[in-house]
Each structure stands twice: as structure tokens, then as C-alpha cells.
């Protein structure tokens, strides 16, 4: 393992890491690394903050209010004083009304998109999730939330950032494909 020194860390210049795996897709196995990206838009993110009293029961009360209006939520995240989650844009108004009937302080950010970065066995490919995160951050994207599945990473971002991020990742993939 590398031994870390102050001089080294101050001066380190790192070579770019590839998003694509070293070998091509074969008759039997998919190529390692990111294969393609995809966009899903039409979401709104609800942020609930400053819950009073015990946080978990207060969070449950919020989720109860949303469940009562039959809206399915995605990308739930627990925050120190509340929670945030994603709902389809066309349900945002219903959720706002439902939450207005509770004591919760909340805000809703519309125009959210999900950028899906497909990579076979992404959780098993050491460092790949971190690498995609690094690329997304380097693209200047403000990431609202992250999720993952066995074959993809999902980033919740604004619609404008989503298009930019997808283009950047695609450009990287094209560049690496040509280099191979």
C-alpha cells in the first residue's frame, strides 16, 4: 500500500481513470465499466426540515401523510432534522397539500431528473461507483441524491444538470472507445 507523505499529497497529479473496462464486450460477457447513460425526467424533490421532538416519529408522520394520498415516493434520504424524497412532478401538488396539513416545514424543488449510468455488476466492480461520482462532481453537477442497482447508478439532479452530465459522460465513453 502507498505510504502517504505531505509532499506527495500536495503535489500529486493523477492520471485519469477509465470509465470503460479494459476488454471489449464478448460473446459471453458484457464489457466492464459504464456502457451507456439514460435520462428519466419529470420528478420533484420534497425536502422536509426542522422536525420537532423525536425525529423518527415525526418522519413517520410525514410519510403517513404522503401514503394517505396514495403517492409513491423514491430516493428517500434521512437528514439530521428531517428527510427528503422524490415524487413524480404531476403528484407534487397533491403532496404539497398533504404536507400543508401537518406541522412539517417543507420545500419542493421541481424539474428534477434521474441520470442512470448503466454498468454491469456495478457494485462488484471495485471503485467504479466512486469513479462515476467523481466524474459527476467534476462536471459541476449538483447531486441531490444517489441510488444504485446491480447494473446502474442513479443520480438525482436538476434537468439542466442532467443533460450536461449525460453529454459529458457520453463524450468520455466515446473518447475511450476510440482510444481502444
Partner 1 sequence: MRIKVMKFGGTSVATAEARLRSAMRVISAKEQGFKPVVVVSAIGRKGAPYATDTLISLLREIDPDVEPEAREMDLMIACGEILSSVIFAHTLKTLGHAAQAFRGGQAGIRTDGIYGNARIVGINPSSLIRSVENGHIPVVCGFQGTFVDHPGAPGGELTTLGRGGSDTTGAALGAALKAEAVEIFTDVDGIKTADPDAVNHAPTLRKVTYDEVAEIAHLGAKVVHPRAAEIAMQYGIPLWVKNTFSDDEGTEIVSRENFPGRRVTGVTHTGKLVYLQFDLSGAGETDRTVLESRIYETMARYGVNLFMLDVSPSSTGFAVPRSQYAIVENVLDGLVIPVEGDPRRVYLFQIGLQASREVETQAKLLGLLGEVRRVPASLTEGCTMVSLVGHEYMQQSGLFLQVLSVLSENQISVLQVSDSDYSLSVLVTESERDRAVKLLHQRFGLDEVS
Tell me which residues touch partner 1 (CB under 8 A): 1-2, 4, 6, 9-10, 14, 17, 22-23, 26-30, 32, 56-57, 59-60, 63-64, 66-67, 70-79, 85, 120-121, 123-124, 126-131, 133-134, 137-138, 140, 143-151, 154
Q: Please give the span between the terminal C-alpha atoms of the chain, in angstroms, as a whole number.
A: 29
Q: Which is nearer to partner 1, 135 or 166 (CB)?
A: 135
Q: Which is nearer to partner 1, 7 or 178 (CB)?
A: 7
Taking the complex as a whole, the smallest distance from the CB of residue 83 to partner 1 amounts, in Å, to 9
Taking the complex as a whole, the smallest distance from the CB of residue 159 to partner 1 amounts, in Å, to 18
Q: Which is nearer to partner 1, 70 or 179 (CB)?
A: 70
Are the beta carbons of 86 and 145 closer than 8 angstroms? yes
Q: Which is nearer to partner 1, 110 or 123 (CB)?
A: 123
Q: How far apart are CA 156 and CA 40, in angstroms?
A: 10
Taking the complex as a whole, the smallest distance from the CB of residue 156 to partner 1 amounts, in Å, to 9
Taking the complex as a whole, the smallest distance from the CB of residue 116 to partner 1 amounts, in Å, to 10
* The 3-state secondary structure of 113-179, one letter per residue: EEEEEEECCCCCCCCHHHHHHHHHHHCCCCCCEEEEECCEEEEEEEHHHHHHHHHHHHHHHHHHHHH
Phi, psi at residue 67, to the nearest 5°? -65, -35
What are the grid coordinates assigned to 7, written together? Answer: 509532499
Taking the complex as a whole, the smallest distance from the CB of residue 53 to partner 1 amounts, in Å, to 14
Q: Which is nearer to partner 1, 79 or 170 (CB)?
A: 79
Q: How far apart are CA 105 and CA 110, in angstroms?
A: 17
Amino acid at each position: 500500500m502507498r505510504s502517504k507523505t505531505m509532499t506527495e499529497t500536495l503535489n500529486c497529479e493523477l492520471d485519469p481513470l477509465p470509465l470503460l473496462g479494459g476488454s471489449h464486450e464478448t460473446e459471453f460477457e458484457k464489457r466492464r465499466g459504464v456502457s451507456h447513460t439514460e435520462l428519466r425526467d419529470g420528478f420533484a424533490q420534497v425536502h422536509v426540515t426542522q422536525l420537532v421532538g423525536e425525529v423518527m416519529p415525526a418522519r413517520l408522520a410525514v410519510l403517513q401523510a404522503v401514503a394517505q394520498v396514495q403517492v409513491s415516493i423514491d430516493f428517500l434520504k434521512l437528514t439530521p432534522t428531517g428527510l427528503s424524497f422524490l415524487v413524480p412532478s404531476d403528484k407534487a401538488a397533491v403532496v404539497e397539500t398533504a404536507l400543508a396539513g401537518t406541522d412539517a416545514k417543507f420545500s419542493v424543488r421541481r424539474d428534477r431528473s434521474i441520470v442512470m449510468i448503466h454498468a454491469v455488476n456495478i457494485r462488484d466492480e471495485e471503485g467504479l461507483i466512486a469513479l462515476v461520482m467523481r466524474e459527476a462532481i467534476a462536471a459541476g453537477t449538483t447531486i441531490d441524491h444517489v441510488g444504485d442497482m446491480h447494473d446502474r447508478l442513479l443520480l438525482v439532479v436538476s434537468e439542466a444538470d442532467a443533460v450536461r452530465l449525460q453529454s459529458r459522460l457520453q463524450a468520455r465513453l466515446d473518447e475511450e472507445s476510440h482510444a481502444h
